[in-house]
Amino acid sequence: MKNFQDEKQRDLSINTSDGTNKFLTTDQGVKINDDNNSLKAGDRGPSLLEDFILREKITHFDHERIPERIVHARGSGAHGFFEVTNPIPELTKAGFLQEKGQKTPVFARFSTVAGSRGSTDLARDARGFAVKFYTQEGIYDLVANNIPVFFIQDAAKFPDLIHAVKPEPHNEIPQAASAHDTFWDFISLMPESMHMIMWVMSDRAIPRSYRMMEGFGVHTFRLVNAQEESVFVKFHWKPKLGTHAVAWDEAQKISGKNPDFHREDLWEAIETGNFPEWELGVQIIPSEDEHKYDFDLLDPTKLVPEELVPVTIIGRMVLNKNPDNFFAETEQIAFHPGHVVPGIDFTNDPLLQGRLFSYTDTQLSRLGSPNFHEIPINRSVAPIHNNQRDGHMRQEINKGRVSYHPNSLGGGCPYQAKIAEGGFASFNERVDAHKVRARSESFTDHFGQARLFFNSQTPEEKSHIVKALRFELGKVETTAIRVRMLGLLSQIDTTLAEKVALGLGANVPPIIEKPINKGVSPETEEAGTQEPQTIDQAVDSSEALSMIKNPTNAPTIESRKVAILVSDGVSEAAVMNMKSALKKEGAKGCVIAPHLGSVKTDSDTAIAAEFSFLTASSVLFDAVYVPHGLDLNTLAENEDAIEYLNDAYKHCKVIGADGDAASIISGAAFAGKITNDDPGVIVTSEIASEAFAQEFITAMTMHRFWQREPNLYN
């Protein structure tokens, strides 16, 4: 069995260092005798220029920062492996996909797009999902997002899109948010973004965890087999824990309470052995089907419905090791959709084609040198020999006098590889065309799949989209932009537009019939008044597009966290019963008390508090449990404690209470808002009952009870 799982860790170990039991030294290896005082002329005198220890330390510090990524600056990553479960040698010659059980080391980085490096994890945004495979044939990067389509069809519009969404240039406000005028100004003039807008206004843009997101390669790629035959392919990552989100109000509160929520979640999961896992799947489209669909496979604003082409699972990825050093690994990793290995190739998707230029270019300014491939986290485990030389911070010491090809002085080395020897040869696609600056007519339907996505959502999910649009457009100050957006939304779904309009106190503009201005750039069209498109989608609704209906969501509460509220007098049996029932399911009950230290139980034992009501918060947990015996007056009088229940209710989480604690549900603090009959509210008069714990856990597998919210769409 080909198991290269540990190969990258062995490779990285060459560069890892550990100061335990070692002397403190300068960068030149000289042992330091005093690291606390600079060299001075007298103990009250001026510092001396001669102090090489001080100069070196401060100079290094002054240069510690590098430019953050222009997009996807905020992110977190981890090491792991990819294992083939269903080899596809008939479709691709890529060496790492040939044998069942074959393992390849990977590093994955998840990110938000718009915010800067220190911004919140919980911004409403697409998430990056980039995976570097250290294969035996070189680096393969699958630089994906958690949304299967993109805002724009052509890379030429990428700088405009990013300028529009980033904080506005005059005052650098707002951070990590699309809810402002410049973003919606641009979007309202770009009908092609409507499908992506439906996704980013849905709960996909506020994931519960990086471990609970799907990943999508977005573009159609090619697989090429040993006979040089090609199929088209779409890549999908499917999370083992299902695809889940938080509520928007919750996301905003988490942003304040713990802006590192996703980062911490990923880190903790790996530290505690709950290794995040995804299946890798492919939608395979035979070459001859290239023009079969009523959308263009090269258009990155379109997906291939799984009803038309099912996803075939080919492997799984497990993340099982946190980085040793955030900067060296997560910050310095450089992804590039152009890092491919023989057997994987590109298509002419104009967004992908532009990306193929952008990623190396950006590393030159971010990492500062064409030698960024030598940084340990970026280094291939396959050997590198070529005639590239020199440049800033070159590590490799190339021997000999020859740095050109062809050569005779070096015996022709390093020599080219034939295809049969693993040499990369681009797929031999025939291209016979005029050189034009144009958009293909097959890219013109901007609303069909936006409608497909919207129609595929449950009533609760539709309501969330209405709410998100009311929020985002409500933050826009320019009325004309809001109205243009309503015009575009009405072409997706008239009720959607009307419901959003209600929240904005505006009217949906009438659709003015006018011929589509083909070949003219979309900015010059009056976007809000464009004629509705008539191209029929073969699929009206797709379960895979809904998070709630998603057929791959397993009923699990693995690694979920439950807030167990306690105070003196709490029933020890009730707390322990719930804790052990949760543990059995791989979840964790966290004890939260009025103060840190411990509380006394009804059996005079002490239970340690992991958090106080003040240091944790309901939004950081998946459910709240109020056990029997807890002093209800203490709870009702403590505003921080009350917030646990109010927020859990508002965010549609499971709330449980047993014994005398059950009365808290209908107590004065909630003014009759919560009733025992509410979905997801689990109460019993029994104490420490197994059946109650099971009911609580089963309810948690539903993730959220969104039906508790008022529906804004119906």
Q: Which residues contact 50 (CB under 8 A, 6 or more apart)?
A: 39
Q: Is 624 in the site for ligand HDD (CB under 6 A)?
A: no
Q: Which stretch binds ligand HDD (CB under 6 A): 255-263, 283-291, 358-366, 422-430?
A: 358-366
Is residue 15 part of the annotated active site? The answer reads: no
CB closer to ligand HDD, 150 vs 705 = 150
Q: Which residues contact 698 (CB under 8 A, 6 or more apart)?
A: 555
Of the candidate residues 359, 424, 471, 611, the single one contacting ligand HDD (CB under 6 A): 359
Q: Which stretch binds ligand HDD (CB under 6 A): 65-73, 178-186, 235-243, 386-394?
A: 65-73
CB closer to ligand HDD, 145 vs 530 = 145
CB closer to ligand HDD, 219 vs 236 = 219
DSSP symbol at 152: -
Of the candidate residues 58, 70, 364, 512, the single one contacting ligand HDD (CB under 6 A): 70
CB closer to ligand HDD, 352 vs 504 = 352
Number of residues lying near ligand HDD (CB under 6 A) = 27
Q: Of residues 72, 236, 244, 628, which has the active-site annotation?
A: 72
The SS3 assignment for 3 reads strand
The residue of the chain with the least Cβ separation from ligand HDD equals: 128
Do the bridges between strand 344-345 and strand 221-224 make them parallel or antiparallel, or are there none, so unpaired? antiparallel
Name the β-bridge partners of 560. none
For residues 325 to 344, the per-residue mask of contacts with ligand HDD, x marking binding by CB under 6 A and - elsewhere, is --------xxx---------
Q: Is 71 in the site for ligand HDD (CB under 6 A)?
A: yes
Is residue 171 part of the annotated active site? The answer reads: no
CB closer to ligand HDD, 141 vs 460 = 141
Treating both helix axes as pointing N-terminal to C-terminal, what angle do 248-257 and 459-474 enclose, rounded to 10 degrees?
60
Please give the structure tokens belonging to residue 538. 């073969």
d(CA 277, CA 210): 11
Of 626, 629, 584, 587, the C-alpha closest to 605 is: 629
Please give the structure tokens belonging to residue 188. 């309202």
Q: Which stretch binds ligand HDD (CB under 6 A): 7-15, 142-150, 395-403, 706-714?
A: 142-150
Q: Is 153 in the site for ligand HDD (CB under 6 A)?
A: no
Do the bridges between strand 623-626 and strand 561-565 make them parallel or antiparallel, or are there none, so unpaired? parallel
Q: Is 145 in the site for ligand HDD (CB under 6 A)?
A: yes
DSSP 439-504: --GGG---SHHHHHHHHTS-HHHHHHHHHHHHHHHHT---HHHHHHHHHHHHTT-HHHHHHHHHHH
Q: Is 476 in the site for ligand HDD (CB under 6 A)?
A: no
Q: Is 351 in the site for ligand HDD (CB under 6 A)?
A: yes
Q: Is 609 in the site for ligand HDD (CB under 6 A)?
A: no
The SS3 assignment for 106 reads strand
Q: Which stretch binds ligand HDD (CB under 6 A): 191-199, 240-248, 353-361, 387-395?
A: 353-361
Question: Which residue type, as a one-letter code, is found at position 60?
Answer: H
Q: CB of 48: closest distance to ligand HDD in angstroms?
A: 43
Q: Which stretch binds ligand HDD (CB under 6 A): 67-75, 92-100, 494-502, 675-683?
A: 67-75
Q: CB of 442: closest distance to ligand HDD in angstroms?
A: 18
d(CA 350, CA 189): 20
CB closer to ligand HDD, 67 vs 555 = 67
Helix (H) or strand (E) holding 693: helix 690-700
CB closer to ligand HDD, 143 vs 251 = 143
Q: Of residues 21, 79, 145, 428, which has the active-site annotation?
A: 145
Q: Which residue carries 């960024």 as its tokens?
A: 372
CB closer to ligand HDD, 104 vs 363 = 363
- Return left, alpha or beta for 21; rule: phi > 0 is left, psi -120 to 50 is alpha, else beta: left
Q: CB of 361: closest distance to ligand HDD in angstroms?
A: 7
Of 159, 210, 147, the C-alpha closest to 186 is: 159
Q: Is 362 in the site for ligand HDD (CB under 6 A)?
A: yes
For residues 209 to 238, the per-residue mask of contacts with ligand HDD, x marking binding by CB under 6 A and - elsewhere, is ---------xx-------------------
DSSP symbol at 166: S
d(CA 413, CA 389): 15
CB closer to ligand HDD, 82 vs 150 = 150
CB closer to ligand HDD, 234 vs 651 = 234
Of the candidate residues 105, 115, 128, 167, the single one contacting ligand HDD (CB under 6 A): 128
Show the 3-state SS of 298-355: CCCCCCCCCCCCCCEEEEEEEEEECCCCHHHHHHCCCCCCCCCCCCEECCCCHHHHHH
Write the burial class of residue 313 (CB in 10 Å: 0-12 exposed, 13-18 middle, 19+ buried). middle
Helix (H) or strand (E) holding 78: strand 75-84
Q: CB of 298: closest distance to ligand HDD in angstroms?
A: 12
Are 147 and 200 spatial neighbours (Cβ–Cβ below 8 Å)?
A: yes
Q: Which residues contact 273 (CB under 8 A, 6 or more apart)?
A: none
DSSP symbol at 515: -
Of the candidate residues 95, 138, 300, 323, the single one contacting ligand HDD (CB under 6 A): 300
Q: Is 114 in the site for ligand HDD (CB under 6 A)?
A: no
Positions in the binding site for ligand HDD (CB under 6 A): 69-72, 75, 109, 111, 128, 130, 143-145, 150, 155, 158, 218-219, 300, 333-335, 351, 354-355, 358-359, 362
Catalytically active residues, by annotation: 72, 145
